[in-house]
Copies of this chain bind each other. A is one copy, B any other.
Amino acid sequence: MEFTAKQISELLNGTVEGDENVIVNSFSKIEEGKPGSLSFLANPKYTNYIYETEASVVLVNNTFVSSKEIKSTLIRVEDSYKSIAQLLEIYNSMTEKPSGIEKQAFVHKKAKTGKNVYVGAFAYIGKGAVIGNNVQIYPGAYIGNDVQIGENSVIYPGVKIYYKTQIGKDCTIHAGSVIGADGFGFAPNTDGAFLKIAQIGNVIIEDNVELGALVTIDRATMGSTIIRKGVKLDNHNHVAHNVEIGQNTVIAAQSGIAGTAKIGENCMFGGQVGISPHVKIANGTKLSAQSGIANSVKKEDSILMGAPAYDIRQYHKSYIHFKNLDKIVKRLDELEKKLNNEV
């Protein structure tokens, strides 16, 4: 697949500066740009690379002003990051997609599959499951009884989805994730042992959700654990029973949300964050990586850090003093000495 700068520019509604006939056939990062590749400049931190890059074509924002000569052909667009995302998507959509039901798949006779569905070998689709049009289910995935999966969703290899889970349209679930396993519910017995609380609820995942690899979302004890539309969870996230995550919230890898917590909309959490059971997190909350939330966050758009977490600027101030505690205590020693000598 080869394109000229002119062709790409037309696709993106951009304008060319330089040789419009130069040909590219791959993508590269601007700091690693090679001849024949297309790159982009979005983050101003990387501006210096544009004067050195070997990339044949570079996408830049309309507002970009060069301060030196540039070897590459430029394509000016309104938002270079979105334009590169658009091109990557086009490139990606040109790779061959699997289709059909492979011979070694297991599809229960009482399951329903839509049009143009892919079911890979060793995938298992249980009784009463309903699989929408254009859904792709990769090899070794397990779709339990009565699970519903909406149109265009992609279930990667080895994903395990327990019975009665509902998944919306245009969702992506990466390999090895487990949806609908039992919530962690036990009642203590008098002898120190624990009695299991049966988990009879389910999991509901709305449209346009993406889950990374090896994510777990537990079924509710009663009712539903709910992931609202547009949520993005990175690898190794843990979502406990009866949690609800509001729409368009994004959570980085290895974070954990304990039972019955309610996470607002448009939140952004860093990696390895921990949320205590039963808390509510206001819309737009941002949590720094490794933060721990012990109590509800009531003010919207808070930016928090620490364990337990509080205002990130305050945290940074405290942490600078923490690093200096040895000096601070020596100052205190000094003062005490002075005062005691005086007295």
> Whole-angstrom distance between the alpha carbons of A292 and B29 in the complex?
27
B336 with A339: CB separation less than 8 A: no
Which of B84, B193, B289 contacts A292, CB < 8 Å?
B289
A25 within 8 A of B: no
Would you list which residues of chain A between 91 and 116 have a CB under 8 Å from chain B?
91-92, 96, 102, 104, 106
B124 with A121: CB separation less than 8 A: yes
A88 with B339: CB separation less than 8 A: no
A318 within 8 A of B: yes
A329 with B326: CB separation less than 8 A: no
Q: How many copies does the complex hold?
A: 3
A118 within 8 A of B: no
Which of B193, B195, B213 contacts A216, CB < 8 Å?
B213
B240 with A238: CB separation less than 8 A: no
Q: Give A90's nearest chain B residue, CB to CB.
A: B198
> Whole-angstrom distance between the alpha carbons of A192 and B136 in the complex?
27
A335 within 8 A of B: yes
Q: How far is the CB of A290 from chain B (nearest CB, A)?
A: 5
> For A176, A235, A289, which residue has the most chain B Cβ atoms within 10 angstroms?
A235
A206 within 8 A of B: no
Cβ contacts under 8 Å, A216 to chain B: 212-214, 235-236, 253
Q: How far is the CB of A216 from chain B (nearest CB, A)?
A: 4
B140 with A158: CB separation less than 8 A: yes
Which of B181, B258, B321 contacts A213, CB < 8 Å?
B181
A250 with B194: CB separation less than 8 A: yes
Interface of A is mostly: loop
Q: A106-B121, A308-B319, A325-B322 are in contact. Are A256 and B254 (CB under 8 A)?
A: yes
Q: A178-B213, A321-B329 are in contact. Are A88 and B200 (CB under 8 A)?
A: yes
Cβ contacts under 8 Å, A266 to chain B: 192
Would you list which residues of chain A between 265 and 281 have a CB under 8 Å from chain B?
265-266, 271-272, 274, 276
B174 with A193: CB separation less than 8 A: no
Stretch from A5-13, A66-74, A182-190 that touches the partner: A182-190
A314 within 8 A of B: yes
A22 within 8 A of B: no
Q: Give A284's nearest chain B residue, CB to CB.
A: B192
B175 with A160: CB separation less than 8 A: yes
Q: A92-B200, A318-B326 are in contact. Are A276 and B289 (CB under 8 A)?
A: yes
**21 A–B pairs (Cβ distance < 8 Å), ordered by A:** A29-B222, A89-B198, A91-B198, A106-B122, A120-B124, A121-B122, A122-B124, A158-B178, A160-B175, A160-B176, A160-B213, A192-B266, A193-B208, A196-B210, A212-B218, A234-B240, A290-B292, A321-B325, A321-B328, A338-B339, A338-B343
Known: A156-B162, A194-B250. 14 other contacts (CB 8 A): A29-B242, A85-B195, A142-B175, A162-B175, A175-B181, A186-B210, A212-B216, A214-B214, A234-B238, A238-B254, A240-B253, A314-B326, A321-B329, A332-B335
